[in-house]
């Protein structure tokens, strides 16, 4: 996976931190489906993800309305329910406005 190529700020970041259960059945397939579905959403800018003991996925969005639409997307809601029921011991979602970014 690459570092997301985001536009000039401002834009938003949704930071999803999670600790998984031992149950993996269907997880990888759903995660891949969610990434591909997110890429089709209006306002989606990119995604970065890493998993060790804690998984952290950061998705980038044009505006808060795009984030709200993604949260309410029907297939995403199904994944959220399965995640709570089967795949995650704990998770936290944080939404932040990016006002500055830089790199090389």
Q: Give DSSP secondary structure letters for 32-87.
A: HHHHHHHHTSTTEEEEEEEESSSEEEEEEESSHHHHHHHHT-HHHHHHHHHIIIII
Is domain 11-98 given the CATH code 3.40.50.620 in the classification? no
Q: What is the pLDDT of residues 51-68, one digit of tens each?
A: 999 999 999 999 999 999
Q: Assess whether pLDDT exceeds 80 at residue 27.
A: yes
- DSSP class of residue 9 equals S
Q: Assess whether pLDDT exceeds 70 at residue 1.
A: no
pTM above 0.85, yes or no: yes
Kindly state the average pLDDT of the residues 47-54. Answer: 94
Can you give the residue ranges of every domain in the chain? 11-98
């Amino acid at each position: 996976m690459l570092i997301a190529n985001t536009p000039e700020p401002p834009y938003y970041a949704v930071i999803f931190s999670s600790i998984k259960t031992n149950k993996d059945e269907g997880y990888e397939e759903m995660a891949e489906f969610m990434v591909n579905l997110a890429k089709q959403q209006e306002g989606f800018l990119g995604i970065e993800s890493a998993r060790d003991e804690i998984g952290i996925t950061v998705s980038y969005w044009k505006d808060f309305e795009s984030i709200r639409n993604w949260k309410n997307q029907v297939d995403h809601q199904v994944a959220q329910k399965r995640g709570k029921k089967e795949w995650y011991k704990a998770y936290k979602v944080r939404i932040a406005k990016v006002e500055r970014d830089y790199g090389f």
